[in-house]
Chains A and B, each alone.
Chain A
């Protein structure tokens, strides 16, 4: 059974940083692309970032480019999202998902971790 467990969310002041982690199990982590998706309050889903399996290529939404960094540690089956220069509009539930949206879709999702950016 695929399991994805996010951690690292919390309350942070504008301009601050957070590092989200997603512990994966139940599949060969190194063989799959991985994705972060967020859902701001009262808004729809927003694709944030993806990392491929083949060569660790990374992709970002314009809204987070230059501030967020996605990475993976295949020795620990863990996905990370380093978030810097956080803004109020980054407030959202952040989900990690197995897969790439334009390929076979996002097949499995974690339960999400809440990030609140507020002073």
Chain B
């Protein structure tokens, strides 16, 4: 069981918007930056969002991140079939002195 809780799956139609939640606690999300990763089948993960809401160069502005209290959210607008992937949130847990990931969310674009 992961320290960070994500929904196992989400789905939406092309062109629509979807949000993926990441729930944690005061020992992780509250006091540390959250990052989000996209893993397409058979490939290495890719950083989508860092420091809660910043996008690396090259990541489309269709992807956004936010954080409030013990939760973080990844938003994806204008869904494309190429967005079908597993998405993970991650942060540091001060109580564990360890990095932690959410269990991952599989996005299906119907």
A residues contacting B by CB (< 8 A) are 35, 37, 39, 44-47, 50, 59-62, 95, 97, 100-112
Contacts and interface: CB of A to CB of B under 8 A. Distances in A.
User: What is the interface residue range for chain B against chain A?
Assistant: 20 to 34
Interface in B86-107: 86, 88, 90-92, 96-104
A105 B99 contact: no
Contacts of A109: 44-46
Contacts, number: 77
A32 to B, nearest CB: 14
Nearest to B100: A47
A110 B47 contact: no
B64 interface: no
B2 A60 contact: no
Given A95-B44, A106-B35, A106-B37, A35 B51 contact: no
Interface of B: 2, 32-33, 35, 37, 39, 44-47, 49-51, 56, 86, 88, 90-92, 96-104
Nearest to A35: B99
A48 to B, nearest CB: 8
B44 A101 contact: no
Contacts of A111: 44
A101 B91 contact: yes
Contact of B99 (A39, A59, A107): A59
B96 A105 contact: no
Contacts of B49: 105
Contacts of A50: 99
B44 A47 contact: no
Nearest to B2: A44
A97 B35 CA distance: 13
Contact of A59 (B2, B35, B88, B97): B97
B44 A110 contact: yes
